[in-house]
Structure 1
Amino acid sequence: MNLFAEIRGVVLDALNAMAGAGELPAGLDLKNVTVEPPRDPAHGDMATNAAMVLAKPAGAKPRDIAETLALRLTADPRITAADVAGPGFINLRLDPAAWHGVVKDALRAPDGFGRSGMGQGVRVNVEFVSANPTGPMHVGHTRGAVFGDALASLLDFAGYDVTREYYINDGGAQVDVLARSAYERYREANGQTPVIADGLYPGDYLKPVGEALKEKYGDSLLDRPEEDWLPEFREFATEAMLQMIREDLALLNITMDVYSSEKALYGSGRIEAAIERLRAAGLIYEGVLEPPKGKLPDDWEAREQTLFRSTDHGDDQDRAVMKSDGSWTYFAPDIAYHWDKIDRGFDQLIDVFGADHGGYVKRMNAAVKALSNGRVPLDVKLIQLVKLFRNGEPFKMSKRAGTFITLRDVVEQAGRDVTRFHMLTRKNDAPLDFDFAKVLEQSKDNPVWYVQYASARVHSVMKRAAEMGIDLSDAALAQADLARLDHPAEMELIRKLAEYPRLIEAAAAAHEPHRVAFYLYDLAGSLHSLWNRGNDDHALRFIQDGDAEATAAKIALLRAVGVVISSGLAILGVTPAKEMR
């Protein structure tokens, strides 16, 4: 049930009736008509902008439309008042029974409450993490991994057909560097002193790879020419790093549906085919790029290259796809990879990139528009940096990776649930501070603790009620007399529950899973407020000694809150707390 959608349906029916009666022109576009919570709760339960958005196309004054619409709306038994405010907004007040129906719906379908069909099975590919397979994942990857996984869960909950995908960047020079770094650890495993030259990967994580290479090859490749061992070491080390990455993702309870290899594109003809597709559209040509703005690099020189006319699709400048020496640029396989996703039948593409890929957004959007003839939208979400602190001071760890703090370090220090929730307490394009002391702090200022405390309170009351022999089945609680829930604090909590289905659709449409975390914090605040009021007013306590009907109603409300907290946390990939320790 989405009560806001239901009331919007009432508004649309009334508008259509007005058109049928000649009070509005026929055929008006109603898609921008909304029903939302009012900015000031004192003004009512909901508000609609219908008269404001229809006035101009209807050629009428918004207040005139609003007054006629308000009269029609009060004919619905769920709407007890419809007041015209200002230039034409309509504030609505609902019968308490309409709000109580939200609790019943949450109890009748706890697994489905808040789910939406807005996605209509549209196929969405969410590509995230896609870290170079050259070492363990670092703290920046952690945020991108959590964001991408939560976004995929959110879209699935909203009715989309979602695929989680990891693009393995195993086709560039970095995997050769990995192989050479592994070779030094192989030499070390054979008793020689490794030479970790500048540019090689120095982390201890490659020592087990060196030992495994020794076990496989013994000392047979020592002091052999690079061409004798590089291809084999590259493949071996890359697979070892991918296994490490899979294990890192498992720490966050993330499982990818698909792993796609950049290397597999080379020699397959797919890069050539993608470029030829663009050429057939008149978007590939031979030319010379403008010099970079500002100070010219010492090695820059004008040279003819094969260029993609990306400016035809919104980019700032055209982009090279083939170098003057005939080799592909790094952009060319990315074009082919995105064409492959389009060719696999995805209706929408989402790429989750690090903040350092900001300059890549327009060119990738241009390529996808050109390849799909504008049919398949691409949304690139940039993930800003994470700064680590402890008690407000910059935090340094052992850096087992050699040059950075790993995902494993963070999860071992803070725990999976805390890490996941806190990574979603800011919008993806805003920097995030991760203070190990604060994320474990037991206070209202710590969102994850505040929400989990609400979950634990739900479980504690339900456990006590079970010990009293109260029937806690959802079917029984759904039959409770919810009219007994009439205190403003109880109604505030119910109104907050009613926002959940609407919140899911808005967050899914915007590709912003952090909205779920924000909502859960507000919902927890409403529950804690009611709980604290019960310390002074016994009538607000969830268990009412000697009044079975009131107890059943209050437990029903509490159970509904638990349903939504568990649902929202599941989207974020967090396990609800049953008790606080």
Structure 2
Amino acid sequence: MNLFADFEVRIKEALESIDLIREKRESVDFNRLTVEPPRDPSHGDVATNAAMVLAKPLGTNPRALADVIAERLKQDADIVDVTVAGPGFINIRLSSAYWQRLLASIIRDGEGYGRSAVGAGRKVNVEFVSANPTGPMHVGHCRGAVVGDALANLMAFAGYEVTKEYYINDAGSQIDVLARSVFLRYREALGETVGEIPSGLYPGDYLVPVGQALAKEFGTKLHNMPQDEWMPIVKDRAIDAMMAMIREDLDALNVHHDIFYSERGLHADGAARIRQAINDLTFKGHVYRGTLPPPKGQLPEDWEDREQTLFRSTDVGDDIDRPLIKSDGSYTYFAADVAYFKDKFDRGYNEMIYVLGADHGGYVKRLEALARAVSGGSAKLTVLLCQLVKLFRDGEPVKMSKRSGDFVTLREVVDEVGRDPVRFMMLYRKNSEPLDFDFAKVTEQSKDNPVFYVQYAHARCMSVFRQAREAFPDLDTESLDLAAAVSGVSDPAEMQLIAKLAEFPRIIEAAALAQEPHRLAFYLYDLASSFHAHWNKGKDNPDLRFVKDNDRESSIARLGLVRAVASVLKSGLAITGTAAPDEMR
């Protein structure tokens, strides 16, 4: 049951019954009408801007129209008061009976409460992480992994058909560098003294076991081969080893992809799929032969002062046209991006989300232009950029990792503080804003640590049920129909807690549509804060305690409220990929 969707229907029905609106219905647009919580809870439970957005097309005064709408809404049995504020805002206060019915609905829905059909089953491909398979994942990848995974979970909960995808960049010069780096470690495993790792190769110790595995499998055979023979063998083993490491890192973070898509597959059979994608763009008039002016600043690798095959991306929103085929006939990196996007589109995805690091900001316009060209404007492509994560320990910057050579690995962070603090804190800031991550703060047990505060709320909910079983040993809380006893929930403070629960479906839909999973993390903290505040009121006022040893009936009613809070916390935490513990020590 979605309170705000329910009252949007009721308000529109009330509007349809007003003579002035009925007479001018063709000139009235309800799409700008909003139904939401008032900014100040003291003003009511539900607020609408109906009079503000409808007055002008109806040729009337907003305040006067608001008065008419208010009188019509007062006829609703679930509304106890309607007031008009300012130039025409309408604030509505609901009856206790309505809140009790809503609570019963939340209890019955359990962890399904808040699920939405707003996605209408539309297929969405969320590609995230996609780290080069050249080493362990670092903390920057960590943020993109969490944002992408939580967003995919959120959109699935909101009714989309979501695929989580990882694009393996296993073609290109960085893979050649990886192979040469591994071959050096292979020689080391054979007993050679390699000394300091040469500049340009990957120095991390994580490659040592890969070299040792090659030595065990091949002995000295590879060492006696020319480079063109050992290179493909070492590439395959190195990529497999790096992807196994990356999968383990992702698993430690509770991130699991549905598809791992290999770039090398695009280059197979003479790069047939890349050629086909370019031919498709050519047929649509988006490809030509020409030259590009030199870009300002440092020249990119794929720029040439010669005639080459270009994507006419400026016609579809890009700043400059993009090279597809170099003058020597080889394909550019962007050509593979073209083929990859076309493959997604051909797989039936009309909505694609790329979660990238902030250093990929220059890719946004070219990808958006590519989507318009390939799909003819029918596909929606969104790029979410994740800003940098800065690591601190007690306020001091964290030094680089020995294992990786030049960065802090994702696994080191997870191993030190745990999966849940990492996941929740990576969401506790909008992805487009920088994030400071302090190892000490994310593990402290206080209100200032959001993940602890939210998980503690769920653990407290579970402790209430343990208290109830101790107070009433014959009470079977698992089979008890808590929804049937909600009439015993009547205190204003309890109604405020139900009102916070009522916001959950609206948060789910809004966060999914805006593609902003951080909104859910903020909401969970607010819900936890409301629950803890009510818990503390029970310390001062025994009548508000969830379990009263001398009042079985009111205790059962309040168990329903606690069950509802626990369900929403557990559902929300599951979407963020964070556990909902039954107890905390």
Task: Give TM-score, length-normalised by structure 1.
Answer: 0.96
Structure 2 CA distance for aligned equivalents of residues 102 and 394 of structure 1: 48
Q: Which amino acid aligns with 1:197?
A: P
User: How far apart are 1:271 and its partner, in Å?
Assistant: 1.0
1:172-571 to 2 correspondence within 5 Å?
172-194=172-194, 196-266=197-267, 267-294=270-297, 302-396=305-399, 398-467=401-470, 468-469=472-473, 470-473=475-478, 476-480=481-485, 482-571=486-575
User: How far apart are 1:73 and its partner, in Å?
Assistant: 1.4
**Map of 1:576 onto structure 2:** 580
1:45–1:484 CA distance, 2 compared to 1 (3 A): same
Q: Secondary structure at the match of 1:77?
A: coil
Does 430-439 or 187-196 show the bigger shift? Answer: 187-196
Contact 2:16 2:22 in 1 (8 A): no
Q: Which amino acid aligns with 2:457?
A: A
1:557–1:474 CA distance, 2 compared to 1 (3 A): farther
Contact 2:302 2:332 in 1 (8 A): no
Identity of aligned residues (%): 58
Contact 2:443 2:449 in 1 (8 A): yes
CA RMSD of aligned residues (A): 1.8
1:48-67 to 2 correspondence within 5 Å?
48-67=48-67
User: How far apart are 1:212 and its partner, in Å?
Assistant: 0.9
Contact 2:121 2:161 in 1 (8 A): yes
Contact 1:307 1:318 in 2 (8 A): yes
Structure 2 CA distance for aligned equivalents of residues 462 and 377 of structure 1: 47
Contact 2:417 2:442 in 1 (8 A): yes
Does 215-224 or 564-573 show the bigger shift? Answer: 215-224
Q: Which amino acid aligns with 2:115?
A: R
**Map of 2:76 onto structure 1:** 76
Contact 2:302 2:326 in 1 (8 A): no
1:112–1:235 CA distance, 2 compared to 1 (3 A): same
Q: Which amino acid aligns with 2:583?
A: E
Q: Which amino acid aligns with 1:272?
A: R
User: How far apart are 1:72 and its partner, in Å?
Assistant: 1.7
Structure 2 CA distance for aligned equivalents of residues 69 and 23 of structure 1: 15
Q: Which amino acid aligns with 2:56?
A: K
C-alpha offsets along residues 487-544 of structure 1, whole Å, 9 cap, x if unaligned? 2321211110000011000000011111111001000100111111111111111112
User: How far apart are 1:297 and its partner, in Å?
Assistant: 8.8
Structure 1 CA distance for aligned equivalents of residues 298 and 236 of structure 2: 40
Structure 1 CA distance for aligned equivalents of residues 376 and 303 of structure 2: 34
User: How far apart are 1:65 and its partner, in Å?
Assistant: 2.5
C-alpha offsets along residues 61-87 of structure 1, whole Å, 9 cap, x if unaligned? 322332222222122111122222222
Contact 2:111 2:568 in 1 (8 A): no
Structure 2 CA distance for aligned equivalents of residues 298 and 101 of structure 1: 64
Structure 1 CA distance for aligned equivalents of residues 240 and 468 of structure 2: 53
Q: Which amino acid aligns with 1:335?
A: V
C-alpha offsets along residues 288-338 of structure 1, whole Å, 9 cap, x if unaligned? 223223577999763322221112222122212222222111111011101
1:318–1:398 CA distance, 2 compared to 1 (3 A): closer
1:474–1:345 CA distance, 2 compared to 1 (3 A): farther
Structure 2 CA distance for aligned equivalents of residues 226 and 39 of structure 1: 68
1:395–1:330 CA distance, 2 compared to 1 (3 A): same
Contact 2:21 2:28 in 1 (8 A): no
1:37–1:305 CA distance, 2 compared to 1 (3 A): same
**Map of 1:31 onto structure 2:** 31
Which 4+ residue blocks in structure 1 deviate beyond 4 angstroms? Answer: 294-301
Contact 2:401 2:407 in 1 (8 A): no
Q: Secondary structure at the match of 2:216?
A: helix
1:16–1:299 CA distance, 2 compared to 1 (3 A): closer
Equivalent residue pairs, number? 580
Q: Which amino acid aligns with 1:204?
A: D
Task: Give TM-score, length-normalised by structure 2.
Answer: 0.96
